[in-house]
Chain A
């Protein structure tokens, strides 16, 4: 029942926020309280994982019909991602705190949180898919209603593009289910027992369908072009959740559905997957170098960073899988923080171009400090979180295929080539005349607190990832080849 509460609670909260007139006026408070309570719920559930005596928390599935069963389960990986989700939702809500927004805005985030929780917890592919798709609707509204100039186009593009992927995902799921029925005569949608055939065109196509289905969300090159637009147009809070949480579900799908379903045959495809990921890394990084819009740049950097996640899990070694999973969390924190800060800048100046700023350090030293730390976390400076994930992912991939790992290492390097110049241009460069770049006030206490909340975990994970690895480890243990 507790697991149902995880996804249902935010959605009920959202409904309250949206529909109860008495609550409507205090929507932001209601939503914040719900989000914080949800965060508490998740933390509470995690005590077992911390202490290490709990491998997973699951509810007995209720068989419904046609093999569809209502079953949820939480292991270390799910827990970590749920925590990330709950945490970033709180951050995202607080990041827009001062803006004058209607109840729908606050409710959308709760909806989104609930849907993502569902994805992370569902064990039944039917429900997995439903939650997967349910994420689209609130995000569509977040981008389309509260985004910047070109928001409508971006929202539609986001929806259509990701729905395109979802159709393939649906075909992939059907392929697994139907194959299982053909071999055993039993209908089942349980992602823990569904297996694809070991060879043949059927398996290849099913695999490809999953790669496309999950790949759109990650996003994998070349089906990534929705992401820069969506990020650029989304409001800051939306970008935080989009990058911090929504991109994660694709990789999570790889970990939870794709890899277990193709135990033997998948082995052959792994180098291909790794190659795709390596392309992602390089492509995202090189493209980011050319961007002149901060949000667009960070969006492309997300493409590159998610490439490392896939790189790690495609290796299916202990360190690769752990690194890939860790990188999910890391990317959520760092990119979340980056988008948060760009959001602060945008809130102050309504600009986000690299050329629109300069010498911000003299006006906003604190912002510069936080941005700097986050940039270095993002380019994988050891001691900060980014390095641990990338290093483990790459060392996993090196075990499987050294050339791909080499490409990945180049990607690590290029990360500095786009983030640092951007950082310099905005925070250190020539001061722009006041007509171009209005005065920027430094962070207030709320904003500082939010950033500390994001940055402290960066240091903690960077220097002491042990506890997190212990939590995630058992969950991915069975995927190791």
Chain B
């Protein structure tokens, strides 16, 4: 039951960095705040590497050393489980997260709230690490919520902007809705099995063949994942979450936050796979999300927003893959996506940095290829990776999922085609609009400047990942599948396969071509259609009605609370209660008017009372 030193490092380093930062640096030297954090990232990275190495060699750790809520037989523990899944996630989080930390050190340099930023940023990192190594659902819930908290803090980082505040709230509330699912899943789970069985290693072997309670658990976990991983229809918070600084977006989209939902589903796959109809639903929701947000991504102008919808789309792809039963491929895509999406975001950050703005729209870019060539190269690599062009990393993971989709046939293959086409289309549209040109509708900056090494060096490593992590599919599978708790073993990540390669690459190439024609060839088509058919553009802007719906729901809640809290509770109900004093006064007046002061009246009353006394005798 010994706890490896590396595991202790995972927690001790970030916690001590946070405490040190809060208590010693925040007041005196906030500009040094990133150093302890980066140091802690380094420690965690080393620990993660050593853990991954151990897990790779088949050494699984699963210990519960500390009781959190001890109550006799009803006890919940803190513990860690280091198996393939968590080691993989640890690697991703620590590697990408650590690099983004370094990048952020450069990006946020001049922000007045530098210290606060890094505290929240590192808390985010810590929460995600805690989430991936948790060995039971309750503990996972703890970090799940902490991830939500830190994302709230970071999305609302520029709290002076009303939009940032609103986005932060929206993100937190939407996640909170998902948390209902997680919470309910926990409650049901603890009803069905003894409490100790919230521990994965104890729970999964116990699962029978789909008892009704377990299917509820599955569905509720899926609800949690929908919110956290921005699946349709609870995706809308993620594009709005762009209000945070770019490194936050990078971290959130690539390594932490949104991957948590996919991780949860992968972790619970032994359970979810038992629930009738659930996997197919997940696949369908994933496909819908992927296509839906891919289309919207193709119409956005804000660079970060395009990337955000692209993330939603890719999360959809992951869910799609999961739903098709390709757990290993899905998490592989999660892994590669972490790299290329981080790279894209950081490139977008570079562009924004170059423009001295928090965010950039395609109207303000164009022809950046010559002005910031390094960023452009990085972007191209990442874009190829995202489009799934061989031999970039994205190809290997995405192709595995698409292959499964084509094997499934029917709607799945249609979705697969659409996804392959759309991803290539929107990312290359963005690439062309940002780096080629400029078109006459664009107002590119006069003197943009390339980012410094503090930003570009970590970006370089991430781009390297986006280029090459795909080549290690077999090793990845070996890592991820070790310690797998499912009844049936994980599906292997397929290797290179010509037929699917042809299909997906051709679709991607088609997408690239279309993007080129759309943006570069026909004059200004990207702008023209907006003017020509404004209704359609409005539809896109409103996400086909999802945004108004959310607004209406929010309004409904506000009205409901006003109705209950003010109109009913205060005005009506409490009004009645307060009114009792008026009633009492009226009663007092009438009672006291009985005492007329007339002697004969009081004598009458005496007679009346006597009469009642005597009448009583008659019965």
Give A residues with C-beta under 8 Å from B. 157, 222, 225, 228-229, 283, 286-291, 300, 318-319, 322, 359, 361, 376, 381-383, 387-388, 391-392, 394-395, 398-399, 402, 405-406, 409-410, 412-413, 416-418, 420-421, 424, 428-430, 463-466, 469-470, 473
Given contacts A290-B565, A402-B188, contact A376 B173 (CB under 8 A): no
Q: Say whether B454 faces chain A, with CB atoms less than 8 Å apart.
A: no
B564 contacts chain A at the CB level, 8 A cutoff: yes
Partner of B162, one of A392, A417, A430, A470: A430
Does B69 lie within 8 Å of A465, measured CB to CB?
yes
Question: Can you list 24 A-B pairs with a CB-CB distance of less than 8 A?
Answer: A283-B564, A287-B569, A289-B557, A289-B558, A290-B558, A291-B566, A319-B69, A376-B149, A381-B145, A391-B138, A391-B186, A395-B186, A395-B187, A402-B187, A402-B191, A412-B180, A413-B180, A416-B176, A417-B176, A420-B172, A421-B169, A424-B159, A464-B68, A465-B68
Q: How far is the CA of A469 from the CA of B177 in the complex (A)?
A: 30
Whether the pair B561, A398 counts as a contact (CB closer than 8 A) is no
B574 sits at the interface (CB 8 A): yes
Residue contact B70 to A381, C-beta cutoff 8 Å: no
In the A-B complex, list the 6 residue pairs whose CB atoms are closest, starting with the nearest. A290-B565, A287-B565, A289-B561, A382-B142, A398-B187, A428-B159
Chain B residues lying within 8 Å of A409, measured Cβ to Cβ, are: 180, 183-184, 187
A225-B573, A381-B149, A428-B156 known; 18 new pairs, CB 8 Å cut-off, are: A225-B574, A288-B565, A290-B558, A290-B564, A318-B71, A319-B195, A382-B146, A383-B146, A391-B186, A402-B188, A406-B184, A409-B184, A424-B169, A428-B165, A465-B68, A466-B70, A469-B69, A473-B71
Distance of B455 from chain A, by nearest CB (Å): 28
CB-CB contacts below 8 Å: B255-280 with A: none
Q: Mark B8-40, 1 if CB is under 8 A from A, else 0.
A: 000000000000000000000000000000000
Residues of A within 8 Å of B180, CB to CB, are: 409-410, 412-413
Which residues on B are within 8 Å of A, measured CB to CB?
Answer: 67-74, 138, 141-143, 145-146, 149, 152, 156, 159-160, 162, 165, 168-169, 172-173, 176-177, 179-180, 183-184, 186-188, 190-191, 195, 557-558, 560-562, 564-566, 569-570, 573-574, 577-578
Q: Hey, which chain B residues are within 8 Å of A300, CB to CB?
A: 565
A157 cross-chain contacts in B, Cβ below 8 A? 578
With the chains together, A394 CA to B176 CA distance in Å? Answer: 17
CB distance from A303 to the nearest CB of B (A): 10
Residues on the B chain within 8 Å of A405, using CB: 187
Within the assembled complex, what's the spacing in Å between the Cα atoms of A55 and B146?
37
Asked whether A417 lies within 8 Å of B557 as measured between CB atoms, the reply is yes
Q: Are B187 and A319 in contact (CB under 8 A)?
A: no
Decide: B562 and A290 in contact? CB cutoff 8 A.
yes
Asked if A382 contacts B141 (CB within 8 A), the reply is yes
- Determine the chain B residues whose CB is within 8 A of the CB of A286 once the complex forms: 560-561, 564-565
Contact of A319 among B74, B172, B177, B569 (CB under 8 A): B74
The docked-state distance in angstroms from the alpha carbon of A424 to that of B164 is 11
Q: Is the CB of B577 within 8 A of A225?
A: yes
Taking a contact as CB atoms under 8 Å apart, the answer to whether B74 and A318 are in contact is: yes
Residues of B within 8 A of A359 (CB): 160
- Is B191 touching A322 in the complex (CB atoms < 8 A)? no
List residues of chain B with CB within 8 A of the CB of A469. 69-71
Describe A's contact surface by its main secondary structure: helix
Docked Cα-Cα span, A455 to B374, in Å, equals 48
Q: Are B566 and A290 in contact (CB under 8 A)?
A: yes
Taking a contact as CB atoms under 8 Å apart, the answer to whether A322 and B187 are in contact is no
Which of chain B's residues have a CB closer than 8 A to the CB of A228? 570
Docked Cα-Cα span, A428 to B152, in Å, equals 13
* Contact, CB under 8 Å: B577 / A322: no
Shortest A431–chain B CB gap in Å is 8
Interface centre among B73, B74, B177, B557 (most CB of A within 10 A): B74
Complex Cα distance, B471 from A284, in Å, reads: 56
**Whole-angstrom distance from the CB of B617 to the nearest CB of chain A?**
30
Closest to A429 in B: B165
When distances are taken between beta carbons in the complex, the residues of chain A under 8 Å from B165 are: 424, 428-429
A412 to B183, CA, bound (A): 10
Q: Which residue of B lies closest to A466 (CB)?
A: B70
Q: Are B142 and A383 in contact (CB under 8 A)?
A: yes
Question: How distant is A22 from chain B, measured CB to nearest CB, in Å?
Answer: 43
Which A residues are in CB contact (< 8 Å) with B187? 394-395, 398, 402, 405, 409
Q: Give the shortest distance, in Å, between A332 (CB) and chain B (any CB).
A: 19
With A287-B564, A428-B165 known as contacts, the answer to whether A470 contacts B74 (CB < 8 A) is no
**CA A322 to CA B570, docked complex, whole Å:** 33
Task: Report whether B71 and A420 are in contact in the complex, using a CB–CB cutoff of 8 Å.
Answer: no
Contacts of A319 in B (CB 8 A): 69, 71, 74, 195
Residue of chain A at shortest CB distance from B26: A365
Query: Do the beta carbons of B173 and A290 come within 8 Å of each other?
Result: no
CB of B72 within 8 A of CB of A318, answer yes
Residues of A within 8 A of B558 (CB): 289-290
Chain A contacts for B191, CB-based, 8 A? 398-399, 402
CB of A290 within 8 A of CB of B67, answer: no
Among B69, B73, B141, the most chain A Cβ lie within 10 Å of the Cβ of B69
Cβ–Cβ < 8 Å partners of A318 in chain B: 71-74
Give the Cβ gap from B289 to chain A, nearest Cβ, in Å.
23
Q: In the complex, what distance in Å separates the CA atom of A469 from the CA atom of B557?
A: 37
Chain B residues near A225 (CB, 8 Å)? 569-570, 573-574, 577
Q: In chain A, what residue has the closest Cβ to B78? A: A463
Collect the chain B residues with CB atoms within 8 Å of residue A288's CB. Answer: 561, 565
**What separation, in Å, do the CA atoms of A402 and B186 have in the docked complex?**
12
CB distance from B459 to the nearest CB of A (A): 31
**A383, A413, A429, A463: the one within 8 Å of B177 (CB):** A413
Cβ-closest chain A residue relative to B566: A290
Q: Distance in Å from the Cβ of B57 to the closest Cβ of chain A? A: 33
- Closest-by-CB residue of B relative to A320 is B74
Q: Do A398 and B68 touch across chains, with their CB atoms under 8 A apart?
A: no
- When distances are taken between beta carbons in the complex, the residues of chain B under 8 Å from A388 are 69
Q: Is the CB of B561 within 8 A of A287?
A: yes
Give the Cβ gap from A430 to chain B, nearest Cβ, in Å.
7
- Expressed in whole angstroms, the Cα–Cα distance for A53 and B565 within the complex equals 48
Contacts of A465 in B (CB 8 A): 68-69
> In the complex, A470 Cα to B69 Cα: how many Å?
10
A354–chain B nearest beta-carbon distance, Å: 13
Are A392 and B69 closer than 8 Å at their CB atoms? yes
Please indicate the chain A residues that have their CB under 8 angstroms from the CB of B69 in the complex: 319, 388, 391-392, 465-466, 469
Shortest Cβ distance from B145 into A: residue: A382
User: Closest CB-CB distance, A478 to chain B, in whole Å?
Assistant: 14
Determine the residue in chain A with the shortest Cβ distance to B148. A381
* Contacting residues, chain A, for B564 (C-beta < 8 A): 283, 286-287, 290
Q: How far is the CB of B176 from chain A (nearest CB, A)?
A: 5
Q: Which residues of B sit under 8 angstroms from A417, Cβ to Cβ? A: 173, 176, 557
Partner of A463, one of B68, B138, B168: B68
Tell whether, in the assembled complex, residue A398 and residue B188 are in contact, meaning their CB atoms are under 8 Å apart.
yes
What is the CB-to-nearest-CB distance from B144 to chain A, in angstroms, rounded to a whole number? 8
Contacts A409-B184, A428-B159, A428-B165 given; does A289 touch B70 at CB 8 Å: no
Known contacts A381-B145, A382-B142, A428-B159; is-contact A289 B565 (Cβ 8 Å): yes
Chain A residues within 8 Å of B172, by CB: 416, 420
Q: How far is it, in angstroms, between the C-alpha of A421 and the C-alpha of B558 when the chains are bound?
A: 12
* Docked complex Cα distance between A398 and B577 (Å): 35
- Once the chains are docked, how many angstroms separate the CA of A412 from the CA of B74? 22
**Cβ-closest chain A residue relative to B569:** A287
CB contacts (< 8 Å) of B183 on chain A: these are: 394, 409, 412
Asked whether A291 lies within 8 Å of B565 as measured between CB atoms, the reply is yes
**Across the interface, which residues of A come within 8 angstroms of B177, CB to CB?**
413
Closest residue of chain B to A369, judged by CB?
A: B22
Which residues in A have their C-beta under 8 angstroms from that of B152? 420
**What A residues does B184 contact at CB under 8 A?**
406, 409
Cα A229 to Cα B570 in complex, Å, equals 10
In angstroms, Cα B17 to Cα A397, docked, is 39
Contacting residues, chain A, for B560 (C-beta < 8 A): 286
Q: How far, in angstroms, from A424 to B187 measured CA to CA in the complex? A: 31
Query: Which of B72, B146, B160, B562 touches A381 (beta carbons < 8 Å)?
Result: B146
